[in-house]
Homo-oligomer: A and B are copies of this chain.
Amino acid sequence: MVIVNFKTYLESTGRKAVELAKIAEKVSKETDTQIVVVPQFADIAAVAKAVEIPVFAQHIDPIKPGSSTGYVLAESVKEAGAVGTLINHSERQMKLTDIDAVIRLANEKDLVSCVCTSNPPISAAVAYLNPDIISIEPPELIGTGVAVSKAQPQAVTKTIQLVRKVNSQAVILCGAGISHGEDVAVALKLKTQGVLVASAIVKAKDPYSIIREFADATKQ
């Protein structure tokens, strides 16, 4: 599984979000790999209309329908076509109570919950809250090109070990600094089930090649 976070790059905003999602879809079909795209809120509808691969929101708020002007309602991203959401991305960290509330909310609304964590104990803590996916991303490596799977294999291994003690079902991913197919291959050798990536793909001159490289690496 490869989750591609579009962040707020101009290279993945608006029409370019749709283009990038189509490239991801193409690779997904060619390689029979599960690739998820994570565009900005305002781009979800166009992206979800344009592709058949899963679309996640970057965040949802722990709110009920009503008076929350400017916040992100689960129902809203779902009706726009999202089938899941990132939660607690290192750039959008949440209160512990809100992480718990949003995981429940996602579950109620049939949205896949993917919680981002920054170290093994936090990953284990989150495992108790029963998200569908846990993705460990040491924040000091994000955007560096230094891959978590190579720079901190022990963090990944420890995460898996701690999470599995209390949660046998959550999909475990890793992210941060993933730049080459080999980084992905190493991540899978460490027993993760995939990667969460962003800049390596979004900022690439040739996104197709790099997504393809990542997808191929998951097949080895």
Q: Which residues of A approach B to under 8 Å, CB–CB? A: 5, 7-10, 13-15, 38, 40-46, 57-59, 63, 65-73, 75-77, 79-80, 82, 86, 88-100, 118-119, 121-122, 124-126, 128-130, 142-143, 162, 165-166, 198-199
What are 25 residue pairs bridging A and B, where the CB atoms are less than 8 Å apart in the complex?
A8-B65, A8-B71, A8-B73, A8-B76, A13-B79, A40-B41, A40-B73, A42-B45, A42-B57, A43-B76, A43-B79, A45-B45, A59-B69, A67-B199, A68-B92, A69-B198, A88-B96, A90-B97, A94-B96, A95-B95, A96-B96, A100-B118, A100-B122, A122-B129, A125-B125
Oligomer: number of copies? 4
Candidates B14, B45, B97; contact of A93 at CB < 8 Å = B97
Candidates B58, B59, B71; contact of A92 at CB < 8 Å = B71
On chain B, the residues within 8 Å of A118 by CB distance are 97, 100
On chain B, the residues within 8 Å of A88 by CB distance are 96
CB-CB under 8 A for A95 and B94, given A8-B63, A76-B13, A77-B42: yes
CB-CB under 8 A for A14 and B63, given A58-B70, A130-B121: no
Candidates B8, B79, B119, B162; contact of A100 at CB < 8 Å = B119
Candidates B10, B14, B82, B91; contact of A80 at CB < 8 Å = B14
Whether A72 contacts B129 by the Cβ 8 Å rule is no
Q: How far is the CA of A167 from the CA of B119 in the complex (A)?
A: 18
Q: How far is the CA of A118 from the CA of B8 in the complex (A)?
A: 26
Q: How far is the CA of A34 from the CA of B192 in the complex (A)?
A: 46
